[in-house]
Amino acid sequence: MGLREEKKRETRAALSWAAIRLIVERGAENVLVEDIAAAAGVSPRTFNNYFSSKGEAVAARHLDRMVRFAEVLRERPTGEPLWTAILVAALAQVEPGPEVTALPRPDPVQWAAGVRAMLASPSLQAESLRAGVRAEAEIAASVAARTGTDAGRDLYPNLVAAAVTAANNACQQRHIASDGAASMRDLLTEAFTLLAAGLPEPGPR
C-alpha cells in the first residue's frame, strides 16, 4: 500500500472512531458531522468525501476490521488449517489502532452503556446491517480462495463466513455485556476453538 492510500485509510479510521466516541459519549442525536470532523482534525467536506452519514461512519469501523480480517486470512500459509488461520486473522484485529490508544482510556461501565445505546439506534442499525452484508461477502471470498471453492456457487465458503460473522457478533455482545471485563481475545479464541471442534454440546456443570 502506498503512502497516499495509507493516509486515506488512517483518515477513514480516525473519522469512524471519532463518530463512535462522540456518539457513545453524547448520544447520536447530539452529535453533528461537524463535531466528528473537528474531533478527527479534518473539515466537514473531508468527512463527506468518506461517508454519507454518521451511521455509515460508525459502521465503517466494523466493516474495515472485517475487510482486514479477510485480507489477513488470504495471506495465511496455505497449509495452515482453515480455523487456525481464521483465529489468527480474528486476533489480529483486536488490538486498537493509534486513533484509539492516543486518547485517555474511558470508564468501562459508562463506555459499555454508551455502546449499548448506540447499537440500539435504528439509523445506526440499518448501516450496520449493510456493512455486515459486505463484510460477510469479503470473508466468503477469502474462504473460497483458501479452500478452492466458489463463493458465488458453493455453500461452504458462505456458511463459514456466516459462522465467522455470528461468532464475532456473539463475542462483541458478551464483551459489551460484561462492561469490558470479558477479554475479546479470550472470547474469540474460545468461539473459534469451539467452531473448529464442530461446536460440541457443553458437558454437565
pLDDT digits (tens, 9 = 90+) for 11-40: 999 999 999 999 999 988 999 999 999 999
Q: Average pLDDT, stretch 128-142?
A: 95
Q: CB–CB of 180/110 below 8 Å? A: no
Highest mean pLDDT among 94-98, 110-114, 185-189: 185-189
Residue 179, exposed/middle/buried by CB under 10 A (0-12, 13-18, 19+)?
middle
Continuous segment of H or E residues that includes residue 69 = helix 54-75
| Domain range list for the chain | 54-196
All three cell numbers of 103, joined, read 486518547
Does the pTM surpass 0.85? The reply is yes
How far from 71 is each of 15, 105, 145, CA to CA, in Å? Answer: 22, 29, 11
C-beta atoms surrounding 126 within 10 Å: 14
Q: Give the fold, CATH level 3, of 54-196.
A: Tetracycline Repressor; domain 2 (1.10.357)
In this structure, what DSSP letter does residue 30 have? G
Region of 43 please: left (phi>0), alpha (psi -120 to 50) or beta: beta
CA 57 to chain centre: 12
Q: What pLDDT does 4 receive? A: 84
Continuous segment of H or E residues that includes residue 165 = helix 155-177
Of 115, 109, 121, the residue nearest 21 (C-alpha):
115
- Rounded to 10 deg, the angle between the 54-75 and 3-26 helix axes is 130
